[in-house]
């Protein structure tokens, strides 16, 4: 768009259950096309948006960030309310919106990305949390999982945890954090484990492939050291299977020039 | 059933979204009939179950309790796994099962029942929590709500908070607890309020009607004292509207002789 002079960043939440992921696909509806269509309905113009991370089918977001350009200035509150009106039939909502400078990129300006992966272990299948956790009928040993996770933190060649279709130029990535917490619920009848993964950027399926391997450790099928061997092998077949998408949530993206989580009364104009 | 000699209590979780409530209805599927059907499939016998509380359409349970009689002894682990297998297409699961004495009644032995009511306040509609919260686009003032809630605790005639179709003999009930907690999430972009209501028993719609009135206070439409006036009026039209079902969860039921939340390694046989 030649006249595009006003750039906006939005904080986006979506339930990925019935979506094919961020990007348009032949077999269903993508988040990007739904938001672009809402922008079109709201502004009357064709507007393209770009996201911090292209989540896969079934993966959720509580803190996805995207940016787009409009050819006139909009009050951010009107953008939030107008977009949410047009998004209504879909499990997608604009949580916040900020005007940003023309050189801000939701994708390229991001300095850190954080995902949560939720696991529920109990005898009974997930019901109230169905579609938002990986349910496992057996308990997981947290401490060995934490030890194995620590082996992956740092700068490594993550080929063993990289999807075949990954388009990143290099398999070398810096993993800033891979930590686990667990909470025992219903008087010990169930345990909810949350795995936090944070890095400047991730390879395709990297978080889910790391989680799949951590679960092997938690189930006692792998000794902790096997995580180091899997990493060193630089061979996808040596790591665990890809954890299912529904446990994964893109939770937060950090930018030097934008912080949705720092509030001020003037932030909604 | 004449030969019924073995009584079992089950702890049940369900997502009420697509169910018409605990009881069978003409317009959809009830939780009771689904579990009875699973029992029938598992045991080959016609088995009737009775629950602690008959939840309404759209209301959830994380800790519903029900009991039934079988004509032979079953290992509780087999009952849990077998029932969950047959419940599979439905958002209903058996979390735990215990053998109980023949005079235990999920309904009549219960001494306290606890519900949670979840409210999400933020600009954007609920997405990841859709179907499990009452979304309100405006913030609620917690402190006046807490003051108003305190006015309802104790033994009162709750006619003003009682559904027209309520079948209880008396509108006088003892409310043991009505407390509110709130958590600010996403850096203040949203607030989640949980209302805890606990009592030996409740009138039909009592929790949702109390919540509807508390929200009037939280929105600043009612001064705190109006809650006392609404209660004293003994007139349904003087209290607030019924809060929507999806925020309500039957969380826990207490029995003198049964505690699902007290674990022992021997509890699954």
What DSSP letter does each residue of A194-238 carry, written as one string?
Answer: EEEEEES---TTHHHHHHHHHHHHHTTSS-THHHHHHHHHT-GGG
Output A265 or B225, whichever has higher pLDDT: B225
Interface residues of A toward B, Cβ cutoff 8 Å, are 11, 13-15, 60, 62-63, 77, 80-81, 84, 88, 91-96, 122-128, 130, 132, 186-190, 249, 259-263, 268
pLDDT tens by residue, A193-223: 999 999 999 999 999 999 999 999 999 999 9
Nearest to B198 by CA among B53, B75, B84: B53
Helix (H) or strand (E) holding A95: strand A92-100
B268 occurs within a structural domain: no
User: From the list A62, A124, A268, which residue is nearest B13 (CB)?
Assistant: A124
Q: How far A26 CA lies from chain B's nearest CA (Å)?
A: 24
- Inter-chain CB proximity A261 and B95 less than 8 Å: no
- Inter-chain CB proximity A186 and B95 less than 8 Å: yes
A159 and A76, same structural domain?
no
Inform me whether the pLDDT recorded for A267 exceeds 50.
no
Q: Which of A56, A69, A157, A265 is catalytic?
A: A56
B131 and B13, same structural domain?
no
pLDDT tens by residue, B174-220: 999 999 999 998 878 999 999 999 999 999 999 999 999 999 999 99
Instruction: Give the residue from A187, A258, A262 with the most B CB atoms within 10 Å of its CB, the best one to mutate.
Output: A187
Single residue among A61, A84, A109 that ends a domain in this structure? A109
Nearest to A91 by CA among B91, B58, B130: B130
- Chain B partners of A122 at a C-beta cutoff of 8 Å? 95
Residue A221: Cβ within 10 Å count:
10
Nearest to A74 by CA among A53, A52, A47, A50: A47
Average pLDDT, chain A: 94
Q: How far B90 CA lies from chain A's nearest CA (Å)?
A: 9
Q: How far A263 CA lies from chain B's nearest CA (Å)?
A: 7
Mean of pLDDT values over A133-146: 97
A172 and A94, same structural domain?
no
A269 occurs within a structural domain: no
Mean of pLDDT values over A236-247: 97
Q: Which long-range contacts (CB under 8 A, 24 or more apart) does A136-139 make?
A: A136/A215, A136/A219, A138/A219, A139/A191
The span from the CA of B34 to the CA of B14, in Å, is: 11
Single residue among B81, B109, B137 that ends a domain in this structure? B109
Sequence-ordered alpha helix ranges (H) in chain A: 31-43, 76-87, 142-150, 206-218, 225-233
Q: How far B125 CA lies from chain A's nearest CA (Å)?
A: 7
- Chain B partners of A128 at a C-beta cutoff of 8 Å? 13-15, 60, 62, 132, 249
Q: Into how many domains does chain A fold?
A: 2
CA-to-CA dists, residue A120 to A23, A123, A124, A143, B30, angstroms: 28, 10, 10, 17, 26
Q: Which of B15, B56, B96, B157 is catalytic?
A: B56
- Inter-chain CB proximity B132 and A128 less than 8 Å: yes
Inform me whether the pLDDT recorded for B2 exceeds 60.
no
Instruction: Give the residue from A88, A127, A254 with the most B CB atoms within 10 Å of its CB, the best one to mutate.
Output: A127
Inform me whether the pLDDT recorded for B261 exceeds 90.
no
pLDDT tens by residue, B36-68: 999 999 999 999 999 999 999 999 999 999 999
Residue B203: exposure state from Cβ atoms within 10 A (0-12, 13-18, ≥19): buried
What DSSP letter does each residue of A240-256 carry, written as one string?
Answer: PPPPPGGGEEEEEEEBT
Q: Would residue B96 show up in a list of annotated catalytic residues for this protein? A: no
Confidence of residue A139 (pLDDT cuts 50, 70, 90): very high
Confidence of residue A264 (pLDDT cuts 50, 70, 90): low
The span from the CA of A246 to the CA of A110, in Å, is: 24
Angle at B55 between CA B166 and CA B50, to 5 degrees: 95
Confidence of residue A262 (pLDDT cuts 50, 70, 90): confident
Nearest to B122 by CA among B140, B145, B141, B143: B140
B234 and B131, same structural domain?
yes
B129 and B95, same structural domain?
no
- Chain A partners of B60 at a C-beta cutoff of 8 Å? 128
Confidence of residue B3 (pLDDT cuts 50, 70, 90): low
Q: What is the pLDDT of residue A187?
A: 79
- Chain B partners of A63 at a C-beta cutoff of 8 Å? 186
* High-pLDDT (> 90) share of chain A, %: 90
Inform me whether the pLDDT recorded for A120 exceeds 70.
yes
Question: DSSP assignment, residue B125?
Answer: P
- Inter-chain CB proximity A261 and B186 less than 8 Å: yes
- Inter-chain CB proximity A263 and B189 less than 8 Å: yes
- Say if residues B94 and B42 touch (Cβ distance below 8 Å): no
The span from the CA of B45 to the CA of B225, in Å, is: 55
CA-to-CA dists, residue B81 to A122, A130, B4, angstroms: 11, 18, 21
CA-to-CA dists, residue A15 to A9, A59, A82, A115, angstroms: 20, 7, 20, 14
Q: How far A171 CA lies from chain B's nearest CA (Å)?
A: 32
Q: What is the pLDDT of residue A188?
A: 84
pLDDT tens by residue, A81-96: 999 999 998 999 999 9
B261 occurs within a structural domain: no
A231 and A220, same structural domain?
yes
Inform me whether the pLDDT recorded for A268 exceeds 60.
no
Determine the structural domain holding residue B57 and report its residue range: 6-109
A101 and A17, same structural domain?
yes
Instruction: Give the residue from B89, B128, B248 with the most A CB atoms within 10 Å of its CB, the best one to mutate.
Output: B128
CATH number of the domain where residue B156 is located: 3.30.70.660
A143 and A192, same structural domain?
yes
Inform me whether the pLDDT recorded for A269 exceeds 50.
no
Residue of B nearest to A87 (CA): B125
Nearest to B81 by CA among A134, A123, A187: A123
Residue of A nearest to B12 (CA): A124
- Chain B partners of A94 at a C-beta cutoff of 8 Å? 124
The residues facing B120 across adjacent strands are B135, B192
B266 occurs within a structural domain: no
A59 occurs within a structural domain: yes
Angle at A88 between CA A14 and CA B121, to 5 degrees: 70
- Chain A partners of B268 at a C-beta cutoff of 8 Å? 123
B78 and B15, same structural domain?
yes
Structure tokens belonging to residue A79: 């953008």
pLDDT tens by residue, B104-161: 999 999 999 999 999 999 999 999 999 999 999 999 999 999 999 999 999 999 999 9
B262 occurs within a structural domain: no
Instruction: Give the residue from B11, B12, B13 with the most A CB atoms within 10 Å of its CB, the best one to mutate.
Output: B13
CATH number of the domain where residue A69 is located: 3.30.70.580
pLDDT tens by residue, A150-187: 999 999 999 999 999 999 999 999 999 999 999 998 87
A167 and A37, same structural domain?
no
- Chain A partners of B114 at a C-beta cutoff of 8 Å? none
Structure tokens belonging to residue A152: 């992956």
A266 occurs within a structural domain: no
Single residue among B109, B133, B149 that ends a domain in this structure? B109
B247 and B116, same structural domain?
yes
Structure tokens belonging to residue B219: 């929105």
B241 and B117, same structural domain?
yes
The span from the CA of B232 to the CA of B65, in Å, is: 33
Inform me whether the pLDDT recorded for B24 exceeds 90.
no
The residues facing B92 across adjacent strands are B14
B264 occurs within a structural domain: no
- Chain B partners of A91 at a C-beta cutoff of 8 Å? 127-128, 130
Q: How far A196 CA lies from chain B's nearest CA (Å)?
A: 16
Q: What is the pLDDT of residue A242?
A: 98
């Amino acid at each position: 768009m030649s006249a595009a002079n006003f750039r906006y960043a939005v904080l986006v939440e979506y339930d990925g259950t019935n979506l094919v992921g961020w990007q348009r696909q032949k077999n269903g509806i993508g988040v990007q096309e739904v938001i672009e269509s809402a922008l079109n309905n709201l502004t009357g113009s064709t507007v393209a948006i770009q996201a911090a991370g292209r989540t896969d089918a079934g993966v959720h977001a509580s803190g996805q960030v995207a940016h787009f350009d409009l050819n006139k200035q909009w009050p951010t509150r009107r953008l939030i309310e107008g977009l949410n009106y047009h998004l209504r039939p879909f499990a997608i909502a604009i949580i916040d919106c900020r005007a940003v400078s023309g050189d801000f990129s939701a994708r390229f300006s991001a300095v850190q990305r954080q995902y949560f992966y939720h696991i529920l272990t109990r005898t009974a299948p997930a019901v109230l949390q169905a579609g938002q956790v990986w349910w496992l009928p057996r308990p997981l040993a947290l401490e060995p999982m934490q030890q194995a996770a620590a082996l992956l933190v740092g700068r490594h060649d993550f080929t063993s945890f990289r999807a075949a279709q990954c388009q990143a130029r290099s398999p070398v990535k810096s993993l800033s954090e891979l930590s686990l917490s667990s909470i025992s619920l219903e008087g010990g009848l169930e345990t909810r484990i949350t795995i936090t993964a944070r890095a400047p950027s991730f390879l395709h399926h990297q978080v889910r492939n790391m989680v799949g391997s951590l679960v092997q450790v938690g189930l006692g099928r792998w000794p902790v050291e096997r995580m180091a061997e899997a990493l060193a092998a630089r061979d996808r077949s040596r790591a665990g299977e890809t954890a299912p998408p529904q446990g994964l949530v893109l939770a937060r993206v950090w930018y030097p020039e934008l912080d949705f989580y720092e509030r001020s009364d003037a932030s909604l104009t």
